[in-house]
Structure 1
Amino acid sequence: MDVLFLFRIREHHEEMLEKEFPGVHFLFDRKTDDPAIETSEIIVTYGVDIDENVLDRAKNLKWIMVASAGVEQMPLGRIAEMDIPVTNVRGIHKTPMAETMLAHILAYKKKLRDVYDQQERSEWKQKIRGTELLDSKALILGPGAIGGEVGRLLQAFGVRTFGCNRSGRPAEYMDEMVSFDGLLEALPEMDTVISVLPSTPETKGLLGRDHFAAMKDTALFLNFGRGDLYEEKVLIEALENGRPAAAVLDVFETEPLPADNPLWKMENVTVSPHISSHSGKYIDRSLEIFMPNLRAYLEGKADQMENRVDPERGY
């Protein structure tokens, strides 16, 4: 049985897989034009290189393992028609992303940009006035694995956490919950608003002018989910109007962010080039999900594989 990797992993990872699964033929660091596409039973990919042409050629394909959480760039409708199981690595981003978000929140609250700017000018001034996280409120759009982890960290700082999902159902490390329908009413109370929502038909364009206008003029907005949560021009207009006060953005409508995009030059915006999930442990964590699933697959228990993706929902 052929298992085709469409990206590079380290040599010790290759050796580990070959040792753990001696009956499996692994093909590492291949491209979509490789003839092995036609014979491979399993394809391991980041998702962006799987299109309908690849699916047409993959005559023996039985399972797609996506080493990413997002699958919105894949032809999910066609995959559903072919009835090919898809799994992803949902949850492995929670530690690096939550730590990054917390770092940005603390940097904003403690005015660290001002501290760094003063150092550049060799200025000794003690008029910088930061604020505390204690007793503040944070709204987390998408309180799943990543949202729950940032909620846990914020609670340790004495922040009251509010989760927001489609139904308002309870979520771990959230003190209170609101549904998408109750979002507009909840926003005026929030000191920090964080989105880690995936891209789905329900989340595209979820935030509009009314939502940003409802935010505090001291609120920090962070988007670490997907760039189609709002129209970028609407966010820019909102930031120019002072609601929210500032934004930290890791995702954008167009990536890479064009050099002429106004967000680069806005003093109340931090542009992060979609790097919040980067970690030296990324592949290790991906394989920790892939290997048990591969064992289940080989044992004829594909229905028990973790992190199955619903192609119709997109997650």
Structure 2
Amino acid sequence: MDVLFLFRIREHQEEMLKKEFPEIHFLFDRKPDDPALETSEVIVTYGADIDENVLDRAKNLKWIMVASAGVEQMPLGRIRERGIPVTNVRGIHKTPMAETMLAHILAYRKKLGVVYEQQDRSEWNQKIRGTELLDSKALILGPGAIGSEIGRLLQAFGVRTYGCNRSGRQAEHMDEMISFGGLVDTLPEMDTVISVLPSTPETRGLLGHEHFGAMKDSALFLNFGRGDLYEEKVLIEALENGRPAAAVLDVFETEPLPADSPLWKMENVTVSPHVSSHSGRYIERSLDIFMPNLRAYLDGSIDEMENRVDPERGY
């Protein structure tokens, strides 16, 4: 049985897999045009390199393991038609991403950018007025594994957390919950607005002029989910009008962000090049999900595999 990895992992991780699964022929660091694609039962990928041409050639394919949370770049319709199970690594990003978001929030509220700029100028100026997180309110769009973790960290700072999802169903580390329909009414109360929503038919273009216009003129907006949550020109106009006050963006409509994008030059925008999930433990955590799933696959217990993706919903 062939298992094809479309990316590189470390040598000791390769040896670990070979030792744990001696009956499997692993092919590491291959490309989608590798001839082994046609015989492999399992493909391990970051997702973006799986297109309809790859699916047509992968005639023996019976499971796709995506070492990412998002699967929106994959031909989900064709995958559904062929009945190929898809799993992802949902949940492994929560620690690095929540830590990164918290760092950006604290840097903004404590005016650390101003501190760093003054140091560059050798300037001693104590007229820096930061604000506290204590007793503030944060709205988290998409309180899943990542959203709940940033909620937990913010609650430790005395922040009241509001979760927002499709159903309004309760989520961990959220003091209150709303559904998408309650956004406009809730946004005027929020000091921090965070999105970690995936890209789905329900979330694409979810935020419009009325949502940004409803935000406080002191609010910080962070998007660490997907760049199609809104039209970028709508956000730029909102930031120019002062609602929200500032934005930290890790995802964009087009990536890499074009050099001529106005976002690069805006003083109230922090551009993060989609790196919030980066961690030296990324592959390690991915394999922690892949290995039990591979055992379940070999045992014929596909229904028991963790992190199954619904191709119709996109997550």
Q: TM-score range by the shorter chain?
A: over 0.9
For 2:250, the equivalent position in structure 1 comes to 250
For 2:222, the equivalent position in structure 1 comes to 222
Instruction: Deviation per CA, 1:209-259: give whole Å up to 9, x if none.
Output: 000000000000000000000000000000000000000000000000000
2:91 matches 1:87: no
Instruction: Deviation per CA, 1:61-112: give whole Å up to 9, x if none.
Output: 0000000000000000000000000000000000000000000000000000
SS at match of 1:154: helix
For 2:146, the equivalent position in structure 1 comes to 146
TM-score of the aligned structures, taking structure 1 as reference length? 1.00
For 2:102, the equivalent position in structure 1 comes to 102
Q: What is the CA–CA distance in structure 1 between the aligned matches of 2:49 and 2:113, rounded to whole Å?
A: 38
2:285 matches 1:285: yes
What is the 5 A alignment of 1:26-105? 26-105=26-105
Q: What is the CA–CA distance in structure 2 between the aligned matches of 1:59 and 1:228, rounded to whole Å?
A: 32
Q: What is the CA–CA distance in structure 1 between the aligned matches of 2:121 and 2:52, rounded to whole Å?
A: 55
For 1:275, the equivalent position in structure 2 comes to 275
Q: What is the CA–CA distance in structure 2 between the aligned matches of 1:164 and 1:59, rounded to whole Å?
A: 41
Q: What is the CA–CA distance in structure 2 between the aligned matches of 1:54 and 1:253, rounded to whole Å?
A: 25
Instruction: Deviation per CA, 1:251-293: give whole Å up to 9, x if none.
Output: 0000000001000000000000000000000000000000000
The CA deviation at 1:2 is 0.4
Instruction: Deviation per CA, 1:178-204: give whole Å up to 9, x if none.
Output: 000001100000000000000000000
SS at match of 2:103: helix
Give the unaligned 5+ runs of structure 1: none
In the alignment, residue 98 of structure 1 is paired with which amino acid?
A: A
SS at match of 2:69: coil
Give the unaligned 5+ runs of structure 2: none
Q: What is the CA–CA distance in structure 2 between the aligned matches of 1:167 and 1:8, rounded to whole Å?
A: 39
In the alignment, residue 312 of structure 1 is paired with which amino acid?
A: E
SS at match of 1:81: helix
Q: What is the CA–CA distance in structure 2 between the aligned matches of 1:292 and 1:148, rounded to whole Å?
A: 24
For 1:2, the equivalent position in structure 2 comes to 2
For 1:169, the equivalent position in structure 2 comes to 169
For 2:117, the equivalent position in structure 1 comes to 117
The CA deviation at 1:130 is 0.2
- Number of residue-to-residue matches in the alignment: 315
In the alignment, residue 67 of structure 2 is paired with which amino acid?
A: A
SS at match of 1:99: helix
